[in-house]
Structure 1
Amino acid sequence: MQVFIIPVTPFQQNCSLIVCDRTKEAAVVDPGGDIEQILAQIKQAGATVTQILLTHGHLDHAAGAPELASALGDVPIIGPHIDDTFWLDSLTEQSARFGFGHAKAFAPTVWLNDNDTVQVGDYTLSVILCPGHTPGHVVFYSADLKLAWVGDVLFKDSIGRTDFPRGNHADLIHSIKNKLLPLGDDVQFIPGHGPTSTFGRERVHNPYLIG
């Protein structure tokens, strides 16, 4: 599998293009904006995007999904969990508040649940419900690649904010310690912002997880 990280929006959110080497089928994870930049990477990779995957409903992760889906021939938008409905419903308000221009509220083609799977070419991604940053936040995990797309749950040396509506710090820590870290110290993760890391490194060095 090829993975291309494409920083988008003024928040430099890590949108990802995931491409199956054999089939060239691909998915885009969290297209918050800068659609032309994402389309350029898709073209350069020679990929055929069959779906858009969303970890959660915040503006910088989800706002560009409808425009990108349309540009790609109305591919389905998959995720997040239905508990993030209120975030997707408020995208217009979010965009006005943060000066992102106009973003339309939408509902995904499919809501995801814990233990669902998503197929990208030859690769199966497991869906892990990880509430805390938002109530309907999901993580996509490839056991074959030992790689996870964690959105805003976990960062190198930090964790997701929980001061937004329906955020919950205890839920976030539980999600990290009981759902993500047990996947293995050697699992690399792509966060919503900033550099990649591994669960093992964060288990030992992340100040929010020690103790």
Structure 2
Amino acid sequence: MKPIVKTYPVGQMGNNTYLFGDPESKQAVLIDPAFESSVVLPEIETEGWQLTHILLTHAHFDHTYGIYELSQALPSVPPIALHRCDKDLYESGGLGELMGLQRDPLPQPTIWLEEGTIIRVGSQVLLTRHCPGHTPGHVFFYSDAAKTAFVGDIIFLQGIGRTDLPGGSESVLLKNIAAHIFSLPAETHLLPGHGPATTVAKERAHNPFF
């Protein structure tokens, strides 16, 4: 059976939180729990999903602050997975101070992602690809079964992620998009951290940065 992919637009910054689930085992992961991510919990309970991981594409505050909300609502927090190159960014608040935000400390990641790390969700597989440029530890998660990549803030519909924040580099980001995103099958759905989905084919043809 094909995996289930659900999109939850949340928060005032237009974030997308994603659920990726295996319909046979009912195991699922949450990707980038942003503000107000607890809106996913009623459906998770109704559908009987068992959350096995929280996966972070990167450590900016708008992709992580929902973890605290989830930690207050769930009996226990699933293991959190993050690339080690974003560890300091995560622990320092993910640049939330630039927006005047303060928060209680988040639970620590217990899985340190690397290029090629496999996340198993029941019978489904997510492949981790390291794709820095927006942040040093930015990754995306690719499902061949769903022909879908959860790309965080790497690439958007006719756009790319910001590179003017600490740790960003436009040249590095463009190089990695060309090498790791545009090399995916043309029909691959690209699910970004903000805004509408797109495809590899559309961005190869129409992204103005290339």
Match of 2:64 in 1: 62
Deviation at 1:85, TM superposition (A): 1.5
Residue matched to 2:77:
74
SS of residue in 2 equivalent to 1:183? coil
1:111 has 2:112 as partner: yes
Structure 1 residues 106, 165: CA separation in 2 closer, same or farther (over 3 Å shift)?
A: farther
Alignment match of 1:24 (pick from 23, 26, 29): 26
Matched residue, 1:182:
183
* Identity fraction in percent: 37
Query: 2:192 aligns to what?
Result: 191
Contact 1:89 1:106 in 2 (8 A): no
* Cα contact 1:54–1:61 (8 A) shared by 2: yes
Query: Contact (CA 8 Å) 1:17, 1:42: kept in 2 or not?
Result: no
Q: In the TM superposition, what is the alpha-carbon distance from 1:66 to its structure 2 partner?
A: 4.3
Task: Note if contact 2:38-2:69 (Cα within 8 Å) is conserved in structure 1.
Answer: no
The whole-number CA distance in structure 1 between the counterparts of 2:196 and 2:106 is: 30
- Residues 128-207 of structure 1 correspond to what in structure 2 (within 5 A)? 128-207=129-208
- CA shift, 1:101, in A, is 5.2
1:85-104 Cα distance to aligned partner (Å, 9 max, x none): 2210221x733442555242
Compute the TM-score of the two structures, normalised by the length of structure 1. 0.91
1:6 — aligned with what? 8
Asked whether the equivalents of residues 20 and 26 of structure 1 are also in contact (C-alpha less than 8 Å), the reply is yes
Shift of 1:173: 0.5
SS in 1 for 2:103: coil
Q: CA deviation at 1:189?
A: 1.1
CA distance in 2, matches of 1:97, 1:164: 10
Matched to 1:65, the amino acid is I
For the Cα contact (< 8 Å) 2:27–2:50, is it kept in 1? yes
Q: Distance in 2 between matches of 1:181 and 1:48?
A: 33
TM-score normalised over the length of structure 2: 0.92
Q: Work out the CA distance in 2 between the residues paired with 1:10 and 1:147.
A: 25
Distance between the aligned counterparts of 2:75 and 2:187, measured in 1?
34
Give the 5 Å matches for 1:31-42.
Answer: 31-42=33-44
1:25-60 CA-partner distances (Å, limit 9, x unpaired) = 000000022143121232243211111100000011
Partners in 1 of 2:84 and 2:39 — Cα distance? 29
Relative distance call for 1:125 and 1:104 in structure 2 (3 A) is same
- The question of whether the paired residues in 1 share the 8 Å contact of 2:142 and 2:150 is answered with yes
Over 3 Å counting, the alpha-carbon distance change for 1:96 and 1:164 in structure 2 is: closer
Residue type of the alignment partner of 2:44: I
Partner secondary structure for residue 182 of structure 1? coil
Give the whole-Å Cα distance in 2 for the aligned partners of 1:35 and 1:95.
17
